[in-house]
A = this chain, B = another copy of it.
C-alpha cells in the first residue's frame, strides 16, 4: 500500500513558514490539539476532539488539515485509523523556542 491515496502531503521542514505556523496555532481548538499531542506523543483523529465538547467532524478535519499544511503535525495511516504526531524536531530546528513558548 505504499504511495496509496491514504498518504497525505507534508511540507519539508525547510519549507515551513513562521507566519503559517503562527496562524495554525492561533485557533483555540488547534492550539489544544498541539498541546495534547505534545503530552500524548500520538493521537488518533477521534482523540483530537476538544475537551470543551465535540465539534463537527468536518471542522475537526479542517483544523487537522491546517495543522498538517503548516507543518505542525504529521498525519499518517495506521491500520484503519490515522495517527497524528507533533513535528517537534522540525519545529524546534526551524523556530527555536517557539513551541516551548506556546505549550
**How far does the alpha carbon of A69 sit from the alpha carbon of B12 in the complex, in Å?**
34
* Protomer copies: 2
Kindly name the residue among A20, A96, A97 whose own CB sees the greatest number of chain B CB atoms within 10 A: A97
Separation in Å of the A26 CB from the closest CB of chain B?
4
For chain A, what secondary structure do more than half of its interface residues adopt (helix, strand, loop), or is it mixed?
helix
Of the four ranges (under 10, 10 to 19, 20 to 34, 35 or more), the interface on chain A belongs to 10 to 19
A99 to chain B, nearest CB (A): 8
Closest to A96 in B: B101
A-B contact pairs, 20 of them (CB 8 A): A18-B31, A18-B102, A19-B25, A19-B26, A19-B28, A20-B26, A22-B23, A22-B25, A22-B26, A23-B23, A23-B26, A26-B26, A95-B101, A95-B102, A97-B97, A97-B100, A98-B98, A98-B102, A100-B101, A101-B101
